[in-house]
Structure 1
């Protein structure tokens, strides 16, 4: 990293399992300094402040401002209780504890969404046969941003008259809408376990286990104590038919939920897919079940057939989006 940068901004992408740090140079056309990226496991630290201290100690970097993209609802711009993670974070608390001049908290998928203006075409991959959309080419565009990791993140992204606007949501916690007879059977079993079944119960890493157990019960088969990694490995090598069915089912439900979000948010210009589990799921999303259920929206099928679904392949979209927010906070314009 170029240590001559006058005032770098600390970036953090905080999820349920890992936290990633990097620095941003807000005056650069490529503001995310990729060689500054470090990852830490949440379970190894008591607080976010402790982890930031470790990052500074490990790298020799310092910063006076920070943008923290966190998996959870940001209350009054000041605090967040991390979903699927024991930490709670306060912006003012971090400022006081670490001597930072300013800390801004944003939802993690708001940051993921804000990466989209700077993504290059080779960092996007179509899921299905509809080509990725042009960005900035008309005065008004609306996108959905979503993806599975430890949980299921959802955001809206709007382009209006030259400005990008992100809509922070907790849409992953919306209730699951069953569409097929198998969906209904899955819903019954998960409802018995959890009392309420959100989309996140299925479309995330642990969602693979939830679906596997439900499908084993439906089939009357004994279930093994598989991890998400076990399920995807056995699905990929074809050694366990129930694991294959599990990943196929997740891909279909993922497509159904993505299509519902297009209808709910008016995201006619496309759905950007991201998240820590996406890379593992990509071969299964491309096999057709995802797009079939994405498009199967009754009277809106003809419209949905033309809505692109695009996988983000950039290695750190959350940090890139946080860097974009740092650029805008500093009063700079994004490179065109």
Structure 2
């Protein structure tokens, strides 16, 4: 792993709304350390290159390698951020930033790399706390998921202390209603979208979609115009339209998380990330998420023993990018002697 005497590695967490940057080094126990963290609004910069160059100028750092986690599939040189107008060539960006190496990973792959570095102070259990976290295990199988600007999903296998990350776009699977009321929700959204994915409901804009669908079903006036206004109204009046919407959102997230566990075989736990998770944490803890998570028919007993942990670490995407960066650095160093 990189030592403090070496150049730091530039790491970034690029979402649909914000771009976060930091310099990654390692402590004496070979754990990633983040320095000079800076969050920028994506809308303030025409390109990712502009934002990255602003950060490097602000920090005054000299770097040769970088790992960027992006809210996008990473399948080749051309990258298009899913809920952001930025698009770019990885090789062109590497040249623009004058880097020797630039690696791109999915944003929820970064969350996957991070979970082996999260302690009890970095998570909040929704349900029972597991006897051991991923940090304390050498082998295990986990899912990471969560709503923010979009709905991210990743799969993590720990084998002999090493994290194997499977990048996915699981948030774009089709929405699966669990009862007749949710069928009505689906019917409303199908009038607007030719296909309704889970992300159409389980993200910031999805919360607003759900709010409007519930209002139409129940014949109630919808006066909130942003996801933030929905959550504010829910906190002010839990029994009102917004409150019922947020409660349903938490149930749907629990249902989706349980389905993800069954798909991944993630029997050791689910780590929940995303800005919406933190904002709605009191609502998630009220029981609807766990109830629907466990409500899987013949597999209810199995799901009831699988922990769900909300990540409270403030820069988990950057932490995971740093953990990934050191592995990439070591492999590159070995390749070049």
- TM-score normalised by structure 1 residue count: 0.93
Determine the structure 1 residue equivalent to 2:48. 48
Residue 63, structure 1, aligned to residue 88, structure 2 = no
TM-superposition CA deviations, 1:161-184 (whole Å, max 9, x none): 332101100000010011111110
TM-superposed deviation, 1:27: 6.3
| RMSD (Å) for aligned C-alpha atoms | 1.7
Match of 2:154, SS state, is strand
Determine the structure 2 residue equivalent to 1:267. 266
Residue 13, structure 1, aligned to residue 13, structure 2 = yes
Match of 1:268, SS state, is coil
* Alignment partners' CA distance in 1, 2:130 and 2:162: 23
Whether contact under 8 Å (1:295, 1:305) holds in the other structure is yes
| Gap runs ≥5 in structure 1 | none
Whether contact under 8 Å (1:208, 1:250) holds in the other structure is yes
Structure 1's 244 and 130: CA in aligned 2 closer, same or farther, altered over 3 A? same
Whether contact under 8 Å (1:132, 1:309) holds in the other structure is no
Residue 322, structure 1, aligned to residue 310, structure 2 = no
Match of 1:304, SS state, is helix
Determine the structure 2 residue equivalent to 1:32. 33
Q: Which moved more, 1:217-226 or 1:148-157?
A: 217-226
Structure 1's 225 and 244: CA in aligned 2 closer, same or farther, altered over 3 A? closer
| Gap runs ≥5 in structure 2 | 332-337
* Alignment partners' CA distance in 1, 2:139 and 2:65: 32
Match of 1:175, SS state, is coil
Whether contact under 8 Å (2:19, 2:41) holds in the other structure is yes
For these two proteins, the number of residue pairs brought into alignment is 327
Determine the structure 2 residue equivalent to 1:291. 290
TM-superposition CA deviations, 1:282-322 (whole Å, max 9, x none): 00110000000000000000110000000111110000001
Whether contact under 8 Å (2:119, 2:133) holds in the other structure is no
TM-superposed deviation, 1:132: 6.0
Match of 1:331, SS state, is helix
TM-superposed deviation, 1:136: 6.0
Map 1:161-172 to 2 at 5 A.
Answer: 161-172=160-171
Match of 1:267, SS state, is coil
TM-superposition CA deviations, 1:247-270 (whole Å, max 9, x none): 001000000000000000000100
Structure 1's 88 and 273: CA in aligned 2 closer, same or farther, altered over 3 A? same
- TM-score normalised by structure 2 residue count: 0.93
TM-superposed deviation, 1:326: 1.2
Determine the structure 2 residue equivalent to 1:307. 306
